[in-house]
Amino acid sequence: MAKVAFVFPGQGSQYVGMAKDLYENRSEVKELFDEADNLFGFSISKICFEGPEESLKQTRITQPAIFLHSMAVFLLLKDYPFQMVAGHSLGEYSALVAAGILKLEDALNLVRLRGELMQKAGLENPGTMAAIIGLENKVVEAICEESSKSGIVQIANLNSPGQIVISGSVDAVRKAMELAREKGARIVKELSVSGAFHSPLMGPAESELGKAIEKVDFKTPEVAIYLNVTAKPASSPSQIKNMILRQLTSPVKWEESIRNMINDGATTFIEIGPGKVLQGLIKRIEQKVEVLGCDTLRDLVELEKKLVNV
């Protein structure tokens, strides 16, 4: 049976003006952002809608901003039938809400804390990340192993065939970049990030986030959720808690997650939230599936027409 999967983007998808048209035209979205402004004690909506970009790029702002945008769209689409969810890194928290595992407010509080802790960990343990395009996973693994003599470095994201992100201490990542070029990588690019996400350098954030996760009620999923750490669906709330925490320092197995969802019947993927990053990745993973997205009010109107026929 054909299945619809909702997928949610992670950090890097933010842009100045995000969700502004939804806020101005849909009362549910206005209410969501107004409540977030009250909860945070400052206007995150103003930063989303007007910038400045430098503020929006700060991890502690970026993460709740993307989460709120994804949730704004999800609130408007939640009555359409979908059978699977997944989220890329931060996007996994949006997927938790979509799957009925977390209440929106609990997820927002966790996302806000996660952003603050990751920004702090990035200052305490400076690191970097780099995209490597055009090499096989095994080759990049071997490069990371060799570069580990210079410090911490590991695969952070397995995004799509031949598109991998590595993460770790500056010297080790730059050594790995050098080796990747020698091995014939098509593109090797250091990313503009505030820390070495999905690496052991995020360790200081883990214990604090773990305490907060423990206090929150996680329910059994209402639809299948495919987790970053395992690339497989999980149904036990305690296992999901554990995997959400481990995700901070573990690789995001995005390509494998999408392949598993397709093997389990997904024929339509809808990216919910800012940007088109996941749509691009999914098209590179499997061209036969339908890939749609919903970011703006215009997208929403177009998507609503299409979903009637899905």
Residues identified as active-site: 89, 198
Two tokens at 262?
């397709």
Two tokens at 227?
């987790």
Nearest alpha carbon to residue 167 among 89, 281, 104, 232: 89
Distances, alpha carbon 67 to alpha carbons 11, 127, 231, 297, in Å: 9, 24, 21, 17
| Contacting residues for 88 by C-beta, under 8 A, at least 6 apart | 7, 8, 9, 10, 157, 228, 252, 254, 277, 278
Phi/psi for 49 (5° steps) reads: -80, -35
In whole angstroms, what is the distance from residue 265 CA to residue 3 CA?
A: 6
Farthest CA pair distance, the chain: 55
